[in-house]
């Protein structure tokens, strides 16, 4: 019996020595897990197999073998823990080495964008009016019938009020503004004269789309209200704008026209920059290009916001931003502005 006990103890020593020897070359967590299962595994581990002889041992032998098994187990666990720590450290060092970052490297530059030609034109136009003392205001794109039409003296039978030409949200009540003028009405409702504002922004019209018309485009409208204000002030102001925007050699021509919100009204042409007014293909041989509309604010509009038309008068004007940009940069197609084609955008 003694021989069998010694043999068992010897087997446990051999097991321990073999396990430690095999542990040496292991250098991955996966191999270490295998080793753990092979020696310490609860079901088929080698230590467990040797322990299975315990019930066959005598009362005296059992504690001796039991103690030995515990010692071997503890020793194996200690080695396993050390090895795990070693591998963890090694894997960390490897990761640090592989993921090393050179913090002194210069960063990758992001491509610099440029301002969209419409935003740039709005900036250029409003800057000119700001230098003349105007403030810049932006309004609402969703408006009501009163501010977009009624307050502006647009009669119910006016073509602009045609249900087909306006994008209605609630027919007859709420709409996408067809001009930026409702913001001037709101400004006058809120403030007393003198008033000098320019209002740039998107406007919407249910139109057939072609090279010069889009359903959404941009407008800049201006309004000046004061006790003293004449058509001469309007002409001087727009002439100053045209000279700064297009060059001091350009001339303006005022043609009588009709708008419900101004009386008298005038459409404004600028001398053609290509032929200097002599006539060419670009100006359809007329020497002139239409740039904006203008007029003296209609007394009904002043009354609608509670101003006394005997005390106050004013001028107003409006222009299409796309049209101004097309004239300034020689662009023949309005759809390019909303097309997001970088080849077009990079040219400007
Ligand atoms: C108020 C009173 C009057 C704004 C004006 C025009 C003439 C005009 C067009 C130019 C090209 C619109 O974008 S376009 O199609 N505009 O001709 N606009 S006077 O008159 C106002 C505005 C607000 C309270």
Domain residue extents for the chain: 2-98, 117-347
Question: Which residue stretches of the chain are H helix?
Answer: 2-23, 29-40, 46-51, 61-98, 117-131, 145-148, 181-190, 231-246, 299-304, 321-329, 342-347
pLDDT digits (tens, 9 = 90+) for 28-52: 888 888 888 888 887 777 777 777 7
Fold category of 117-347 in CATH = BirA Bifunctional Protein; domain 2 (3.30.930)
**Average pLDDT of span 64-90:** 87
Buried b (16+ CB within 10 A) or exposed e, 261-298: bbeebbbbbbbbbeeebeeeeebeeebbbbbbbbbbbb
CB-count burial class (<10 Å; 0-12, 13-18, 19+) for 108: exposed
pLDDT digits (tens, 9 = 90+) for 225-250: 999 999 999 999 999 999 999 999 99
Q: According to the model, what pLDDT value does residue 2 have? A: 54
Does position 322 have pLDDT exceeding 50, yes or no?
yes
Does position 3 have pLDDT exceeding 80, yes or no?
no
Residue 267 Cα to ligand 1 middle (Å): 10
Mean confidence (pLDDT) of the chain: 91
* Binding site members for Mg(2+): 263
Q: Which residues line ligand 1 (CB under 6 A)?
A: 181, 184-185, 219, 221, 223, 259, 261-262, 292-295, 297, 301, 316-320
Q: Dihedral through CA 171, CA 316, CA 322, CA 329, nearest 10?
A: 180
Q: According to the model, what pLDDT value does residue 130 have? A: 98
Percentage of residues in the chain with pLDDT exceeding 70? 99
CA distances from 337 to 17, 250, 269, 325 (A): 81, 25, 23, 10
Transcribe 16-32 into DSSP letters: HHHHHHHHTT--SHHHH
Contact (CB, 8 A) for 37 and 49:
no
**Average pLDDT of span 212-216:** 92
pLDDT digits (tens, 9 = 90+) for 260-315: 999 999 999 999 999 998 999 989 999 999 999 999 999 999 999 999 999 999 99
């Amino acid at each position: 019996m003694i021989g069998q006990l010694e043999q068992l103890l010897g087997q446990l020593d051999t097991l321990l020595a073999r396990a430690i020897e095999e542990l040496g070359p292991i250098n991955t967590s996966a191999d270490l897990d295998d080793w753990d299962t092979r020696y310490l595994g609860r079901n088929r581990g080698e230590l467990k197999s040797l322990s299975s002889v315990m019930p066959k041992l005598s009362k005296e032998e059992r504690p001796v073998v039991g103690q030995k098994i515990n010692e071997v187990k503890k020793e194996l666990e200690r080695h396993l823990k050390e090895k795990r720590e070693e591998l963890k450290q090694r894997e960390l060092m490897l990761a640090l080495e592989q993921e090393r970052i050179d913090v002194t490297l210069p960063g990758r530059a992001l491509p610099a964008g440029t301002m969209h030609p419409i935003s740039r034109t709005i900036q250029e136009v409003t800057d000119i009016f700001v230098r003349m003392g105007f403030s810049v205001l932006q309004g609402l794109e969703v408006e009501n019938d009163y501010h977009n039409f009624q307050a502006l003296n647009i009669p119910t039978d006016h073509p602009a009020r045609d249900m087909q030409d306006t994008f209605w949200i609630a027919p007859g009540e709420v709409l996408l503004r067809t001009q930026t003028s409702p913001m001037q009405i709101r400004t006058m409702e809120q403030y007393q004269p003198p008033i000098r504002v320019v209002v740039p922004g998107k406007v919407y019209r249910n139109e057939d789309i072609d090279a010069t018309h889009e359903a959404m485009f941009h407008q800049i409208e201006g309004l000046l209200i004061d006790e003293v204000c004449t058509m001469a002030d309007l002409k001087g102001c727009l002439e100053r704008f045209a000279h700064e925007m297009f060059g001091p050699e350009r001339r303006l021509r005022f043609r009588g026209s009709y708008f419900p919100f101004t009386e008298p009204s005038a459409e404004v042409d600028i001398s053609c920059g290509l032929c200097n007014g002599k006539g060419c293909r670009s100006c359809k041989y007329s020497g002139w290009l239409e740039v904006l509309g203008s007029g003296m604010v209609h007394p009904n509009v002043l009354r609608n916001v509670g101003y006394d038309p005997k005390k106050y008068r004013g001028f107003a004007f409006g222009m299409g931003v796309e049209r101004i940009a097309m004239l300034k940069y020689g662009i023949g197609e309005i759809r390019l502005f909303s097309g997001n084609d970088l080849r077009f955008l990079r040219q400007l």
